[in-house]
């Protein structure tokens, strides 16, 4: 039985979809089932943690964010999130000054190392965060600044 919040989120998504379909008929666009759309629209760390129902994040030396100090082009910025702690549930990569902070989130269990690397688009120089959500509810993060010489979202 979907919660009221889920129903509201779904109707908001549906409204957006219908608006989209009106502009470009013929392209079927359906977000994947269970996709955390609202989380990927959150503009701040506070909004993100609220949307995902997470505790307030605290900085931790046991979480690491890998990334270059300078990215020649913001279109492709290698970012990695890792932690040495056991009991990680989820790893997330955030780019503070992007239109929405959340870039990607990975569900971690005993099958994989709690270390993920991918590449993000960054619109401008910004802090980037690796956030680890622990099984016991703690939310831990590490941050670094990545300078971008040429914004990577303009095409």
Compute CA distances 41 → 6, 20, 35, whole Å: 15, 17, 12
Site string for other proteins, 117-136 (x = CB under 8 A): xxxxxx----x---------
Contacts (CB under 8 A) with other proteins, residues 48-77? 56-59, 68-73, 75-77
Residues constituting the chain: 155
Piece in contact with other proteins (CB under 8 A), picked from 1-9, 130-138, 142-150: 142-150
Q: Rule CB under 8 A: which residues touch other proteins? A: 20, 23-24, 27-32, 35-36, 39-40, 46, 56-59, 68-73, 75-78, 80, 95, 98-100, 102-113, 115-122, 127, 143-145, 147, 149-150, 152-155
């Amino acid at each position: 039985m979907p919660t009221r919040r889920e129903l509201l989120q779904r109707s908001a998504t549906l409204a957006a979809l219908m608006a989209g379909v009106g502009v470009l008929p013929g392209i079927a666009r359906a977000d994947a089932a269970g996709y955390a759309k609202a989380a990927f629209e959150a503009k701040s760390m506070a909004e993100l943690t609220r949307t995902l129902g997470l505790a307030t994040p605290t900085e931790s030396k046991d979480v690491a964010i890998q990334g270059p100090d300078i990215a020649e082009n913001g279109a492709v910025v290698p970012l990695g999130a890792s932690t040495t702690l056991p009991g990680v549930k989820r790893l997330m990569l955030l780019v503070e000054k992007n239109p929405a902070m959340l870039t990607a989130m990975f569900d971690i269990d005993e099958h994989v190392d709690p270390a993920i690397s991918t590449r993000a688009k960054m619109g401008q120089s910004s802090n980037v965060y690796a956030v680890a959500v622990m099984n016991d509810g703690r939310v831990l993060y590490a941050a670094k600044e990545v300078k971008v010489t040429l914004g990577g979202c303009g095409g």
